Structure 1
Amino acid sequence: MIKVLLDYAKLNNLATYISDKEIKQIGEMIYKKTGLGSDFLGWLDWAENYLNDKEYTELKLKAEQIKKQVEVCLVIGIGGSYLGARAADNMINGLHNKNNVEMIYIGNTMSATYLAQIKDYVKDKKFSIINISKSGTTVEPSISFRIFEELLINQIGQENAKELIIAITDKSKGALFTLAKSKGYKSFVIPDNIGGRFSVLTPVGLLPLAISGVNTDQVLLGAIKAQKKLADISLNNEAIKYAVARYLLHTKYNFKVEALVSYEMQMQLMCEWWKQLFGESEGKENKGLLPFSMIFSTDLHSLGQFVQEGTKNILFETIIDIKKPTLDLLIPKTVDNLDNLNYLTDKTINEINHVALKGVLQAHADSANIPNIILEFESMNDLQFGYAVYFFELAVAYSGYLLGINPFNQPGVEIYKKNMFKLLGKPQ
């Protein structure tokens, strides 16, 4: 469900640079769980195990209950605790869907204006809260939860609020676990062996998605399909092919930035999820590509000039090419043809979008000499999303080990937190 094309990537046969032996060694590190950070490889077979799990059945029942009771669902989380769910929501449902429950994502900012506006928006609406945090002490989501828990309790009372507040947190410890237990809030578990940026196929992503109307069974089945299809430890594996190609462009040809590009607006948050996955996984020990993203043709009118003629040998592009759009439109014909567009009326907008993709590819790869990797996605549906999540997670595992780093930790993230807590006067 994802095909990697390297025709425009300026790379010769990958096998001339990476040996089968090296690929096999890394594959064995992953599947035998002997590499750095291997205690966070729970995502490898999570989907097939969770599909028939008792907790997953309870999760879907809770989602159906919430859908019948509220107009708005507030999803509180930051980083991996919200990006995956929001990416899937946008990719699958589109940006203007007709689902009964409006999903609003908060806890990812400390913008006072944003939070105040959301508070004003939901104060007279029926809303529920999903609070997602492993520890329950991360500042951004914790602040949001305090504000909106108080609002909901004041609106409908403590007892009624119990039915509409859900915690997704550690199974046995932490501030949010303790809070949920003491107040009687329903809880679902963030697995110990799956890191935040890899957690979208756990309750972290599945509960918000089920409430938003996504068929989460299909999401998990997509991941299971990828797990089976991408098990081959060789360059015939599309995820390994992608990992090796981007690794070579970085280390052999000295590119510093990978720009993930989509021609679909509803893929923008998928690109944001990808940026966290690869940025946190690879950006350590003074190594790794800077993950960047653009939405074309929108960003062609802001960044296109720089990409085409700006400083060279900085970035290469990875293009997500969606073969079948969720919806399509025909160009209407007009009698006066004042805009001179009647020559397009035998084409759909998606056909024109793909012509734009080909034209940009020729301009960037051929004229500007910018390597382009193409990832062909079949669609933007639930099955494809689950497949894509597993594809990218497996690719970043191989890519991180190729760099010789631990792809599953994020020690640098803690530095800003320590500084912030000190400046805020947090008790030791």
Structure 2
Amino acid sequence: MSNSAFLNWTHARHGRISGTDPASLTPRLGEAANLLGLELAAGRLPFIDMPYADGMTARLQELEPLLRRFEHMVVLGIGGSALGARALQKAFFPAQDRPAHTGPWLWIADNVDADSLEAWLQSLPAEKTVVVVISKSGGTIETIGQYFLIRDWLRTARGDAWTNHVIAVTDERSGFLREEADTHGLASMPVPDHLGGRYSVLSAVGLIPAAFTGMDWQALVRGAKTVGAPLCSSPDAATLGAHPAWHLAAWNHALMQAGYSQLIFFSYMPLWAHFGFWFAQLWAESLGKEGKGSMPLPAVGVTDQHSTQQMFLDGPRDKACLFLTCSSLPQGRTFPGDMPPKWDFLRGRRFGDLLEAEALGTRMALHKTGTPLVEIGMAQPSEEQAGRLMALLEITTLLTGWLLDINPLDQPAVELGKRLANARLGAPGYDTETADLGAFLAAQGSRQEF
């Protein structure tokens, strides 16, 4: 069986981008290659060359005996500190969602959800629980708020031994969590410099939970490095121009230029459905700037054939599609031979044949309604292949941002909401935001009950 994932471009240049010439971006190729070389040399693209991989691998191998002492892991993180870990959990540790599971157990606290947090603190055995608190800056208020409450819970239950139950994943040199780790002797792993949260899944951020649940986390890293390796060894125009990430970026640039404002991520790999939510943050937070970008729409096959697909097929013609498939998924049981005559056509077929047929039907339906579509075909549903997919989408996102003439590595609009929330809670140093909040709350309006 081939170990190669692929992009199927057969129905990509369709609708309003029919006949679009990929060579139209050739003048930008040299510019992008030069920028890529400069940024790699400066160490500002660690999700591509992964210079931290050897040190991270050694440290994570040291931590594995500690992780095996526990039955429960609680991950405190939000956004990029949680979405990748959850995608990997759902893809490669589905046992926790199934009957008769006996552990280990991974709980991801990725929201301000007092009910769930209280349930964990009431029910989890502290002596069998390890807590991973993740914040690059050490100042993410949602995560640090959870940490204060869980730290108090651990102190009450474990006394001075509470420090044996916490792993901090944060900046190597500065920030509140670094201070906590240094002061209390907490186990810790760094978030590498220049590695933003939405690009961090294949660092300690996503790989500590992966190791805890028994995934082949080293295969995830190998897969990602395979995709980035050509660009790291020869970041020139010829290499970049042949790379699938450049082709995907050029396609997306053409789509946006033609008014396709939404990008469906349609997963016909059921266990990989949460990769769509991980991709949504990566794409939206990287590219939604200066009135530019396209809206990512996670969709799950076949579930959303009975839901949002009505809009995809018969709504506004503003959507393109990345279509995730795998030809080597488990096929399940064979249909029995004593079905009613109406269903005779299923006799002798496997349950998985339905997924393949429905995926083909959806692809063709999207094509017939004018939707540009690229199929992403995975060779196997393995960790190595997942690493390839994540690296491809990260590099594609970076290059698409450059073609849009924006910075795909920052998130300025997100920071505004954080500042306003801090002001609302009374944090010092937010005078402007406090005044803005006062004006917003004082506005005269109306309410309608229902």
Question: Do both share a fold (TM > 0.5)?
Answer: yes
Q: Which runs of 5+ in 2 are unaligned?
A: 430-450
CA contact under 8 A between 1:14 and 1:244: conserved in structure 2? no
2:22–2:250 contact (8 Å) kept in structure 1: no
Q: Secondary structure at the match of 1:361?
A: helix
- The alpha carbon displacement at 1:331 in A equals 2.9
Give unmatched runs, 5+ long, in structure 1. none
Read off the aligned partner of 2:45 and give its amino acid letter.
L
The residue aligned with 2:10 is 7
Whole-angstrom distance in 2 between the partners of 1:333 and 1:43: 48
1:94 aligns with 2:94: yes
Task: Give the CA deviation at 1:5.
Answer: 1.8
Aligned to 2:307: 302
1:33 aligned partner: 39
**What fraction of aligned residue pairs are identical, expressed as a percent?**
24
The letter for the 2-side match of 1:193 is H
Provide the rounded CA distance (Å) in 1 between the counterparts of 2:379 and 2:102: 24
Looking at structure 2, the residues matched to 151 and 27 of structure 1 have their Cα atoms a distance apart, in angstroms, of 51
Q: C-alpha separation between the residues in 2 aligned to 1:126 and 1:16?
A: 55
Which residue, out of 260, 266, 274, partners 1:261? 266
Decide whether the 8 Å contact of 2:49 with 2:229 is kept in 1. no
Given that 1:20 and 1:234 are in contact with CA atoms closer than 8 Å, whether structure 2 keeps it comes out as: no
- With CA pairs under 8 Å and 6+ residues apart, which has the higher RCO, 1 or 2? 1
1:175-324 aligned at under 5 Å gives the runs 175-229=176-230, 233-251=239-257, 253-310=258-315, 312-324=316-328
What is the CA distance between 1:16 and its match in structure 2? 4.8
* Structure 1 residues 368-383: aligned runs within 5 Å: 368-383=369-384
CA drift of 1:224 comes to 1.6
Asked if 1:79 corresponds to 2:85, the answer is no
**Cα gap change, 1:28/1:339 in structure 2, threshold over 3 Å: closer, same or farther?**
farther
* Alpha-carbon displacement from aligned partner over 1:45-89 (angstroms, at most 9, x marks no partner): 11xx44432x4222222123222x221100111111121122122
- How much does 1:101 deviate? 1.6
Q: Distance in 2 between matches of 1:186 and 1:228?
A: 31
Match of 2:129 in 1: 127
1:284-316 alpha-carbon deviations (Å, 9 max, x no partner): 111101111110110111112222212x22211
Query: If the length of structure 1 is used for normalisation, what is the TM-score?
Result: 0.91
- The 3-state SS of whatever aligns with 2:304 is helix
Deviations 1:258-303 (A, max 9, x none): 0100022322221111111111111111110111111011011111
- CA distance 1:83–1:33, change in 2 (3 Å): same
CA offset at residue 104 of structure 1? 0.6
SS of 2:242's partner is: coil
Counterpart pick for 2:28 among 8, 22, 27: 22
16 and 164 in structure 1: CA distance in 2 versus 1, 3 angstrom threshold: closer
Q: Secondary structure at the match of 2:39?
A: coil
CA distance in 2, matches of 1:209, 1:34: 27
What do the CA deviations read for 1:115-162 (whole angstroms, capped 9, x no partner)? 222323315772110001112221111121122222222222222x22
The change in CA–CA distance for 1:290 and 1:39 in structure 2 (over 3 A counts) is: farther
Tell me if 1:333 matches 2:339.
no
The one-letter amino acid paired with 1:24 is G
TM-score (norm: length of structure 2): 0.86
Alpha-carbon deviations, 1:216-261, whole Å to 9, x = none?
A: 211111112112356653543211111111111111x201100100
CA contact (8 A) 1:221 1:383 kept: yes
- Code of the residue aligned with 2:88 in structure 1: it is A
**Alpha-carbon distance in 2 for matches of 1:371, 1:121:** 49
Q: Which amino acid aligns with 2:415?
A: E
SS in 1 for 2:239: coil
CA distance 1:23–1:72, change in 2 (3 Å): same
Shift of 1:14: 5.4
The more displaced of 217-226 and 142-151 is 142-151
Amino acid at match of 2:318: I
Alignment partner, residue 410 of structure 1: 411
The 3 A distance-change label for structure 1 pair 180 and 234 is closer
SS of 2:401's equivalent in the other structure is helix
Q: How far apart, in 2, do the equivalents of 1:192 and 1:50 lie?
A: 10
What amino acid maps onto 1:32 in structure 2?
L
Distance, in Å, in 2 between the alignment partners of 1:225 and 1:396 is 18
- How many angstroms does 1:191 deviate by? 0.9
Closer, same or farther in 2 for the Cα pair 1:26/1:163, shift >3 Å?
same
CA distance in 2, matches of 1:279, 1:411: 12
Is the CA contact 2:167–2:187 (under 8 Å) kept in the aligned structure 1?
yes
**Aligned partners of 2:132 and 2:240: how far apart in 1?**
41
CA apart distance, 1:319: 0.4
Length, aligned pairs only:
415
Q: CA RMSD in A?
A: 2.2
Tell me how far apart the structure 2 counterparts of residues 259 and 16 of structure 1 sit (CA, whole Å).
Answer: 21
Distance 2:244 2:40 in 1: 23
